[in-house]
Structure 1
């Protein structure tokens, strides 16, 4: 394997959890809901996925458990914000704190235990092709799932009636309600979808990226996923490009440390977060860019008047 191929493989590995978490949040925000609890949902997916895989010996059962853990955590957020009408920002932060604390409790007995790695796809002949074999035909299944979800979300949002309803609810929930759409039900469904993808992102960390459980192993990736949604101006194709760009920045810092570059390792480790801040600053200085595609009802609670 050439050094360049190894770098590209690690970039894909670093980018996939960001893409999985962010594509779900994009759908949630397109419906008008701002969920800041991605970090908490991801870490719950990571610990539940690792625990299930370790107990059963099946990585796929771990993936399923992680998905349901993400959905359960997201539905708690949905119950609080859509039914009990709590503040979405405060509730999302609370969900993140709850997830970090609860995952530490659940995972306390799994620290240091060997994990079960999700095996890569292997296609005879194709996976052995030089240069493109492992990059295109030899990835783990969640990489392909992340790409399929991105393409599927783009198609559904832009070319189907379901996507039109989601965008209508996010743009003007009062008008959507007047047309007969069930705003709260649509938002619950989108929140659950976002929870499922965040759970998958967590499973990727504990079953693929580093097949073990480490407390707080999400390391701020949920916040980067949130920034990616804004960075992409709520467009799936831009989101995918941004995820791989941020993943590349992440790996650049790791490779620079390994090569002994004369820069403090703490500074190199902060590169993804610095890139996140710079991207948000650039977008915020361009008013047209910051408003384009932004759901008008984002973060606003909805109470049916009839």
Structure 2
């Protein structure tokens, strides 16, 4: 009798451990918890999911902010992240290609079709992690011809066309708010920020102008800015974005310009600007107003490698 009772208890314990393991795995996969909260779990998790280390895809286009070669070089460097990375041109990828990778980083891709924006949204919905940078996707893609001579043009979304807005004003919402035929593609809500312009489009830029001080989130413990020293500075161009009303985002890094930024167009763009924000369930979407490798550019006297390293560790570890 005692042997039977002991066997039953062991069976219950095994079932309980299996349930706990399943919950931990699910929470890690969705990003609710980071794998590093349990010693050794990161290696075990990625062995189960990937059979080894996580894989990163850097997607780029023909022009825009970012230096994908420098980003890949820095991420691969074993003295920094030692990550497994691959590059691909945006014209040559599909949703199936994206799903072969655990983290996708998009930069130097200013022009992008609405269908591609939707593809990245579908990738995150299927469990992927996404880092969007700078001015990627702010220009409409090229017109495409479909069978039957049907042409579907890329179009921006206007306020009076969005059923979620009570507006009669025919004004463009922003370059990430798109429509595909009758279908609305709210990529701005997906990122949680709306693109306004690039700094160097409204102010004269010579070299790498001093832009202000980097301010981390109030608790200073966000994984994307971990170990970042206070009062560091930004030099060079950055994308000016604003928070989307109603979107749930987390601000990890802010630029304080120390005065109101008045552009050559005489518009007041404000004093503080989001530099790194996260959104989505489990913070699986991150937006960088400055491509991370800009902080380690060769011509900078002081380089902030932790910002690039945290792209890997903060999103995947």
> Normalised by the size of structure 1, how large is the TM-score?
0.25
User: Between Structure 1 and Structure 2, whose CA radius of gyration is higher?
Assistant: 2
> Normalised by the size of structure 2, how large is the TM-score?
0.24
Higher relative contact order (CA 8 A, sep 6+): 1
Of Structure 1 and Structure 2, which has the larger fraction of its residues in strand? 2
Of Structure 1 and Structure 2, which has the larger fraction of its residues in helix? 1
